[in-house]
Amino acid sequence: MDKLIIKGGVSLNGEIRIAGAKNSALPILAASLLTRDTVQIRNLPHLYDITTMLELLGCMGVEPIVDEKLSVEINSGTINSFSAPYELVKTMRASILVLGPLLACYGQAEVALPGGCAIGSRPVNLHISALESMGASIRVEDGYIKATVDGRLKGSHIFMDLVTVTGTENVMMAATLADGRTVIENAAREPEVVDLANCLIEMGARIEGQGTDTVIIDGVPELHGCSYSVMPDRIETGTYLIAAAATRGRVRVKDTRPDILDAVLAKLEQAGADIKVGKDWIELDMHGRRPRSVSLRTAPYPAFPTDMQAQFTALNAIAEGTGSITETVFENRFMHVHEMNRMGAAIRVEGNTVIVDGVEMLKGAPVMATDLRASASLIIAGLVSDNETSVDRIYHIDRGYECIEEKLQLLGAKIRRVPS
């Protein structure tokens, strides 16, 4: 198992390219199961979760062909198993995204109950009840969701009790091949849901309303192959911008989308960043100034993303003033706070809010990553520490950030990967 060693005190400076979005790529890979034609997916990020999803397809008898640019061609005509085993699913919650496509296209699916980050309950019951309303017979036993349907799924009017990204995506994929019309109310509006919908439309699906809270899908007899490029990763983009702001630096991120980062960019400007944007780039410059504390509240898109709050906690830790961060999406998502306090931060948790009193500088220490975004926040904390920080259990970060130490090195950071 590897760890990262960070020597702090360097202002980040330079430019980097943003990878494809993991949270788009995973459902789009699952969507390739909806057709027996070849689907080519471009701009996949080079991540452990992507490898796991390709392995999952492989264990079903599908043989993805990956080229040197990490584009992948998938033809599910060779599928011979409709089971997603626990060994693969336990590391990645997104594995449940194969449930809807397998059920819609092949009439059966067996998917292990998912694992992934330990950041609170993310119930699968919404997926199950929605698919049952479309005519599926589902039972949960021996740790598996076992689903069948007699004939085709039927269009249904579905109200999601909670806004759920993977729930919306699973039902949307299943509905593309159902008989009749499916309406999803209280649907997730995230850009990654829109990206999946756009890919499905390229495959011949009839979908409207993506990006709003009501998505309408008219089922078609079959889908066909397509070639599709995954959107840029907005969370990776925001993480590097926050790292630059915390270190009083100046960076330019390329191949990204400023239009889906309004909430994050607004908070960075409040922190004192000078921000310029183009069609596919963002430039942030702190002009050497210490950031100011910001207060924020997470909520589903288009509000401030839960996947960015840990990184802002790190920025607030060394900012001028006091900031509060309220988490409304997941419980148990402040596990990074204890580690930052060991580095000299002044952070206290009050219910679902953290109060951060900014200090001049953190002190390097051995810390341990507890989930994907907490890992990123501890790296930012290491970058603003006065000596050496080691971040252990970084397999979490490899699930969501492509070559993070190499990209930070390009920006001047003193960071290296070593065996634990």
- Which residues are part of the catalytic machinery? 117
- Integer Cα distance of 182 and 352 in angstroms: 36
> Three-state SS for 269?
helix
- Integer Cα distance of 133 and 113 in angstroms: 20
**Distance of alpha carbon 188 from its chain centroid, rounded?**
14
Nearest alpha carbon to residue 30 among 56, 7, 66: 56
> Three-state SS for 212?
strand
Q: Which helix (H) or strand (E) holds 213?
A: none
Cα separation of the two ends of the chain: 6
CB 16 within 8 A of CB 251: yes
- Residues 6 or more apart in contact with residue 145 via CB below 8 angstroms: 96, 99, 109, 110, 111, 112, 113, 124, 128, 138
Residue with tokens 């050497």: 288
- Integer Cα distance of 95 and 193 in angstroms: 16
Nearest alpha carbon to residue 99 among 48, 149, 54, 50: 149
φ, ψ for residue 324, nearest 5 deg: -120, 140
Polymer length in residues for the chain: 420
